[in-house]
Amino acid sequence: MLEGKFYPGVGVIHSVVQPGLEWVVRVNGVYWTACAALAGYSFQAGDAIRPIDRQGNTLLIEPA
């Protein structure tokens, strides 16, 4: 896994926007749009995630 650079700690998948491509996540009480940091990651609502970077207002995430 990649080391966290953007946010310490973990968040949770709130909802799936486009399966396998885009999610809404909650990190430290704030909702963000998120994309997978690496191809092949897939998440479902309730999955724990770790934000590792940000592009604009979109977080790049990996499994926690």
Rounded alpha-carbon distances, angstroms, from residue 8 to 17, 58, 64 = 24, 16, 11
Instruction: Tell me whether residue 59 is in a domain.
Output: yes
Taking the model in full, what pTM does it have?
Answer: 0.85
Instruction: Tell me whether residue 15 is in a domain.
Output: yes
Instruction: Tell me whether residue 2 is in a domain.
Output: no
Per-residue pLDDT of the chain (64 residues; tens, 9 = 90+): 444 566 667 999 999 999 999 999 999 899 999 999 999 999 999 999 999 999 989 999 999 9
- Nearest CA to 31 out of 8, 53, 57 is that of 57
Instruction: Tell me whether residue 58 is in a domain.
Output: yes
By the 8 A CB rule, do 34 and 6 touch?
A: no
pLDDT at 7: 65
pLDDT at 13: 99
Instruction: Tell me whether residue 17 is in a domain.
Output: yes
Instruction: Tell me whether residue 4 is in a domain.
Output: no
Q: What's at 61, amino acid-wise? A: I
- Which CATH number characterizes residue 57's domain? 2.40.50.140
Strand pairing report for 58-63 and 11-18: unpaired
Distance, C-alpha 57 to centroid of its chain = 12
Give the count of domains, the chain.
1
Q: The domain containing residue 43 runs over which residues? A: 11-63
